[in-house]
Structure 1
Amino acid sequence: HYTHHVLVMAAVPVICAFIGTTQLGWNFGDGTVVKLSLMTGLALAVLFYAVMLAGVAVMGRVIWWMARSYPQRPSLKRCMVFAGYVATPLFLSGLVALYPLVWLCALVGTVALLYTGYLLYLGIPTFLGINKEEGLSFASSTLAIGVLVLEVLLAITVILWGYGYRLF
């Protein structure tokens, strides 16, 4: 169920990033460390959480909209649940934010994105009741839009966590 799974899973990277950035600080690999205050970290964590939930909701709506021509079109709620389950590797990759080393977060995030794509390619044909060839096309389009949404979320995250301490 969306409310249970996504709300809990989206909290994993938020809590880990909060702990990592307020206790250890962002490590850029050159000796530069940016540590956030507790209040700044809390404000950014709330925004980060809302942005991630919005990202899953957008992807659920994208899947629902793209499935409009299929006779067994799932409900919007089911599409959001599907988007949430497919995004699970991305949520779990947030565990690495406990030790916020930029290159490590990028590496783990890339692996999580690849596995998320695999789950999408595997799950779309079954979820929509379509053949694998059509599923490949649908999943490729969804993945392309998903990567775009992810890039927007990453940009917002970088701005919030990287420069947000100056804004709050």
Structure 2
Amino acid sequence: MIQHTFGLLVKPSSQWKSISELSDSSFKTLLLYPLILSLIPAVAWYYGTTNVGWTVGDGESIRLTKDSALQICILFYITQVACLAVLGYFVHWMSDTYGAQSTIAKGIIICSLAATPMFIFGAVGFFPVLWLDLLIGIVAVCWAVYLMYLGIPIVMNIPEERGFLFSSAVMGVALVLLICIMVGAVILWDFGAAPAFTD
């Protein structure tokens, strides 16, 4: 799994090709990929928000209580995995429309591998500096979108033109998921998952 992580960051095209040539059993072991890599941003942000904190202007460092941060980071981890599963299902569901052969596992794996930059760069949570984290986050999202557009035609074995339309449809679903996450976060805050700050 590690070779796929660094391969997608350094030489994505050839890495997608080697992923598409994996045997079925090797391919299905990649279902562990999102479960393991989703831990990186969750653990990083737990540490950063409880031990380092962040500042606004010239004020004091703001930190979350350990209980509050733990609750939020567990929900964050579950949300990452659930979103990749839902997005992977939609990749499978739309595959017939674009002339691709797929399974739900294949859809989840493609989405999880495309999200690699977001997992890796999620480590910025160890040092929560707003402007730096936003900048790195934007780069990670752009790289993940690029990986999705590059990977779907290769792994699904469809022409690039059809793969572009397929990837665009997946991005549309991802944006709807993002809105659902934002609404869900507001609802969960009302039900007791709001952050609690240290004094």
TM-score normalised according to structure 1 size: 0.85
Most deviating of 99-108 and 84-93: 99-108
Q: List structure 1 segments (4+ residues) > 4 angstroms apart after TM superposition.
A: 154-160
The sequence identity of aligned pairs, in percent, is: 30
Instruction: List alignment gaps of at least 5 residues for structure 1.
Output: none
Partner of residue 45, structure 1: 73
Instruction: List alignment gaps of at least 5 residues for structure 2.
Output: 1-28
Aligned length: 165
Q: Does residue 137 of structure 2 align to residue 138 of structure 1? A: no
- Which deviations, in whole Å up to 9, do the C-alpha atoms of 1:88-133 show, x marking residues without a partner? 1111121111111222221111101110111111111112211111
Q: Does residue 130 of structure 2 align to residue 102 of structure 1? A: yes
TM-score normalised according to structure 2 size: 0.73
- Which deviations, in whole Å up to 9, do the C-alpha atoms of 1:56-110 show, x marking residues without a partner? 1111011111113355421101111111111111111211111112222211111
Q: Could you tell me whether the CA contact under 8 Å between 2:41 and 2:119 is conserved in 1? A: yes
Q: Does residue 154 of structure 2 align to residue 126 of structure 1? A: yes
From the superposition, tell whether residues 13 and 157 of structure 1 become closer, same or farther in structure 2 (CA, over 3 Å).
Answer: farther
Q: Could you tell me whether the CA contact under 8 Å between 2:31 and 2:105 is conserved in 1? A: no
Work out which of the residue numbers 46, 61, 78 in structure 2 matches 1:18.
46
Alpha-carbon distance, 1:33 to partner: 3.6
Q: Counting helix residues as a fraction of each chain, which structure ranks higher?
A: 1
Map 1:42-81; keep pairs closer than 5 Å. Answer: 42-81=70-109
Provide the alpha-carbon RMSD of the alignment. Answer: 2.4
Partner of residue 111, structure 1: 139
Alpha-carbon distance, 1:32 to partner: 5.6
